[in-house]
Amino acid sequence: MPITTETPAAAKPLVLSRKNNWTELETAMEEGRLPLEVADTLKSLISCHLHNTIRPGAKGHTLGLLKTHLKGGILLQDEGESDEMLEVGVYVPENIETHRSFFILIPRYPHGTIHRMSELNGSLPF
């Protein structure tokens, strides 16, 4: 399944297959459609998401590249399986001296926003 991308400013998702995403990202990088740092970070993130491995550390430069190239999120899909829409999030520790920041894939749902229970202040927005 080929990667579909437009310009970096496009709001369309980056479409990848669950089974061949590593190869698809390599091809996109080799063809100049994604920078090396974005492709490598996505390989780590998707592997972590699918196989519960260690999340890649977050760096400011990488965050900027991911924001530029993934405005539409990531769509993981394969025949016979449910599509999964994701976006990149970042964990920022309260104490950067003792904890590291890292990237994480977060489910993305159309027409709304995910909130933590602690953000709702005891009332529901609906």
Q: What is the pLDDT of residue 123?
A: 65
Domain presence at residue 62: yes
pLDDT of residue 81: 81
Residue 2 has a pLDDT of 46
Residues 32-73 pLDDT 10s:
999 999 999 999 999 999 998 888 889 888 999 999 999 899
The reply to whether 39 falls in a domain is yes
Residue 27 lies in a domain: yes
Q: In 10 A of CB 60, how many CB atoms? A: 9
Tens digit of each residue's pLDDT (9 = 90 or more) over 29-43? 999 999 999 999 999
Q: What is the pLDDT of residue 8?
A: 42
- pLDDT level of residue 116 (50, 70, 90 thresholds): confident
123 belongs to a structural domain = no
The total of structural domains in the chain comes to: 1
> What's this model's pTM, rounded to 2 decimal places?
0.78
For residue 31, what are the domain limits? Answer: 14-110
26, two tokens = 């390599």
- The pLDDT score that the predictor gives to residue 39 is 95
Domain assignment present for residue 3? The answer is: no
With a CB cutoff of 8 Å and minimum separation 6, the contacts of 63 are 90, 103
104 pLDDT exceeds 70? yes
Cα(101)–Cα(8) distance, integer angstroms: 25
Q: Is residue 25 part of a domain?
A: yes
10: pLDDT confidence band, cut at 50, 70 and 90?
Answer: very low
